[in-house]
């Protein structure tokens, strides 16, 4: 039996648990903001349809948020169970950032979530709206801090290394607003909004196709599309700027995600290849000449560093970043196409009746999640072999825990997360299938009573 490597197993476990976790924030960041908009529209227009949609999606939000919470708690302990040397040496820097996340975001979300989910009719409408706003704000603040901590590990500045190897902060402003942070946080928050927009639009399209809750479906699709049409192209720009920033600070990552081995001017854009780290070349390469340089440097003959210019022990393995990057960008292009096509159809007055497009939207609805996961795989695998870039190698960050025990916990996580994810997805789909409860048209004066109406008197299906 081969020796069980705690480093590799800890990496797999962290990749698995963090990937599972990021699915939920990617959804709830955007969903909380959208619920806030719906509640604002309801307060402003008093049209019950906005409240119907908000109540329906609040249930979907609750299931997703619950799974996000429980899978997030795991991560805050894994830094110690599996990456204790990172914690010991980097704790001075990342510890406070993560504590600020707890203090300013987790408590805010958790404290107001109860009122958001259970407070309707029990607290004044304004308070309920405020609670929803606080939950939405909490999700964004959470993204701010955790992406700041991650970005600092990618592009560390504002610190010094003491004699015992422990990192000390010299300048908090520099640490928090480190060079890659603005790009990364904008990219992530935009990705979360796009993911949600795609889900909301897709489910709206599904209702329209099924001819159920059609007015609700139209609002979902319309609102989703309205966000998608401008945010998807903007995300391309943000991603491009992020790429320029990465080229400056983590050139090896760029070389890996483009599968460039040689440093060259007029570097090609490789559309497809099987990178071979042993032979240090690509197989079955399909490339467009010079386009790589144009994209990466914004000049036709810009110089792009190849992986060979880094010593082998400092190179990331390009296989995962290369493919993950292509999946992410491909999905981004699909999002732009969907946004533009949908808007054109809308302007022509044919959006609600073009069935092939509605069907395409249904199929496209989970793509945002795939793009987010791919993006994180690009940036996390691409920064290897470092945990804190250029400062602390992943191999030196791991806990002194035997491999067998890490394997056991990994198996346990895979099993439990499999069951939980399967059940959660099933219940979310069931909620979607059930559709929003529709408030029958009622005279204006009963409006105050609506909020007290017991939802779904029969309980759940």
Q: Site residues for another protein, window 3-42 (CB under 8 A)?
A: none
Binding test (CB under 8 A) with another protein, winner from 26, 28, 71, 196:
71
Q: Which of 179-187, 256-264, 438-446, 447-455 is the region at the interface with another protein (rule: CB under 8 A)?
A: 447-455
User: Counting contacts by CB under 8 A, is residue 460 touching another protein?
Assistant: yes
User: Counting contacts by CB under 8 A, is residue 420 touching another protein?
Assistant: yes
Binding test (CB under 8 A) with another protein, winner from 85, 181, 290, 342:
85
Cα–Cα dist 431/452, whole Å? 21
Contact string (CB under 8 A) for another protein, positions 148-167, x = contact: ------------------x-
DSSP string, 121-170: TTB-HHHHHHHHHHHHHHHHHHHHHHHHHHHHHHS--SEEE-TTS-EEES
Sign of CA dihedral 378, 386, 86, 3: positive
Binding test (CB under 8 A) with another protein, winner from 37, 43, 92, 435:
92
Residue 281, classed as helix, strand or coil, is strand
Continuous segment of H or E residues that includes residue 374:
helix 367-382
Rg for the chain, CA atoms, rounded: 24
Burial class (CB in 10 A: 0-12, 13-18, 19+), 330: middle
Binding test (CB under 8 A) with another protein, winner from 9, 29, 113, 201:
113
Helix %, strand %, coil % of the chain (to 5): 70, 5, 20
Of residues 93-112, those binding another protein (CB under 8 A): 93-96, 98-104, 106-112
Identity of the residue, 255 or 392, whose beta carbon is nearer to another protein in the bound complex: 392
User: Counting contacts by CB under 8 A, is residue 76 touching another protein?
Assistant: yes
Binding test (CB under 8 A) with another protein, winner from 19, 84, 264, 341:
84
Shortest distance in whole angstroms from residue 68 CB to another protein:
10
Binding test (CB under 8 A) with another protein, winner from 45, 46, 47, 80:
80
User: Counting contacts by CB under 8 A, is residue 210 touching another protein?
Assistant: no
Q: Which of 66-74, 190-198, 381-389, 439-447 is the region at the interface with another protein (rule: CB under 8 A)?
A: 66-74
> Which of 83, 19, 14 has its CA nearest to residue 376?
19
Of residues 307-366, those binding another protein (CB under 8 A): none
Instruction: Say if strands 392-393 and 386-388 run parallel, antiparallel, or are unpaired.
Output: antiparallel
């Amino acid at each position: 039996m081969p020796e069980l490597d705690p480093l590799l197993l800890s990496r797999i476990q962290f990749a698995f648990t963090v990937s599972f976790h990021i699915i939920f924030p990617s959804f709830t960041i955007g969903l909380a903001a959208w619920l806030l908009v719906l509640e604002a529209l309801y307060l402003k227009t008093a049209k019950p349809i906005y409240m119907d949609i908000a109540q329906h999606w609040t249930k979907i939000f609750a299931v997703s948020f619950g799974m996000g919470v429980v899978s997030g708690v795991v991560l805050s302990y894994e830094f110690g169970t599996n990456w204790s040397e990172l914690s010991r040496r980097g704790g001075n820097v990342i510890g406070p950032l993560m504590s600020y996340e707890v203090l300013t975001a987790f408590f805010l979300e958790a404290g107001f979530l109860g009122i958001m989910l259970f407070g309707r009719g029990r607290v004044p409408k304004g308070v309920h709206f405020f609670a929803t706003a606080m939950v939405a704000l909490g999700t964004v603040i959470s993204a701010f801090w955790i992406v700041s901590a991650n970005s600092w590990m990618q592009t560390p500045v504002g610190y010094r290394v003491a004699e015992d190897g422990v990192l000390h902060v010299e300048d908090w402003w520099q640490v928090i607003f480190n060079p890659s942070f603005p790009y990364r946080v904008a990219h992530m928050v935009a990705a979360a909004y796009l993911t949600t927009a795609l889900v909301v639009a897709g489910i709206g399209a599904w209702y329209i196709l099924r001819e159920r809750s059609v007015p609700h479906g139209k609002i979902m699709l319309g609102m989703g599309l309205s966000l998608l049409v401008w945010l998807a192209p903007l995300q391309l720009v943000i991603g491009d700027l992020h790429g320029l920033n990465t080229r400056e600070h983590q050139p090896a990552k760029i070389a890996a995600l483009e599968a460039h081995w040689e440093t060259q001017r007029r570097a090609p854009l490789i559309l497809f290849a099987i990178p071979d780290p042993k032979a240090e070349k690509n197989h079955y390469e399909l490339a467009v000449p010079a386009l790589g340089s144009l994209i990466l440097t914004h000049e036709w003959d810009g110089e792009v560093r190849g992986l060979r210019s880094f010593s082998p022990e400092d190179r990331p393995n390009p296989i995962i970043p290369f493919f993950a990057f292509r999946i992410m960008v491909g999905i981004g292009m699909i999002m732009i196409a969907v946004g533009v096509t949908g808007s054109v159809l809308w302007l022509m007055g044919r959006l609600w009746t073009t069935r092939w497009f509605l069907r395409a939207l249904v199929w496209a609805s989970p793509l945002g999640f795939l793009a987010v996961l791919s993006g994180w795989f690009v940036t996390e695998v691409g920064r290897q072999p470092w945990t804190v870039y250029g400062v602390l190698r992943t191999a030196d960050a791991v806990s002194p825990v035997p491999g067998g025990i890490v394997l056991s916990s990994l198996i346990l996580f895979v099993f439990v997360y499999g069951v939980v994810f399967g059940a959660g997805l099933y219940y979310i789909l069931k909620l979607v299938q059930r559709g929003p409860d529709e408030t029958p048209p009622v005279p204006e004066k009963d409006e105050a009573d609506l909020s007290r109406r017991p939802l779904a008197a029969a309980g759940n299906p």
